[in-house]
C-alpha cells in the first residue's frame, strides 16, 4: 500500500517537473513574449 502511494507521488512529481521544463523552454524560445500576453488577461491564465 505504501509503495503504491510512493509510486503515485513520484509520478505526479515527475509530471510537474516535466511541465515546468516545458513552460520554461517555451518561455526561452519566445523570449518571454507569450508570458507578457498572459499577464494582460486573468481568464487566459486560468484556462492555461
Q: pLDDT digits over 12-39, tens only?
A: 999 999 999 998 898 888 887 777 777 7
Q: At what angle do helices 33-40 and 2-29 cross, to 10 degrees?
A: 100
- Our count of domains for the chain comes to 1
> Structural domain of residue 38, as residue ranges?
2-47
Dihedrals φ, ψ of 30, to 5°?
-95, 5
Look at the pTM and tell me if it is higher than 0.85.
Answer: no
With contact defined as beta carbons under 8 Å apart, do 38 and 44 qualify? yes
Amino acid at each position: 500500500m505504501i509503495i503504491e502511494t510512493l509510486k503515485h507521488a513520484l509520478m505526479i512529481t515527475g509530471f510537474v517537473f516535466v511541465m515546468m521544463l516545458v513552460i520554461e523552454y517555451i518561455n526561452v524560445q519566445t523570449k518571454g513574449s507569450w508570458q507578457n500576453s498572459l499577464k494582460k488577461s486573468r481568464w487566459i491564465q486560468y484556462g492555461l
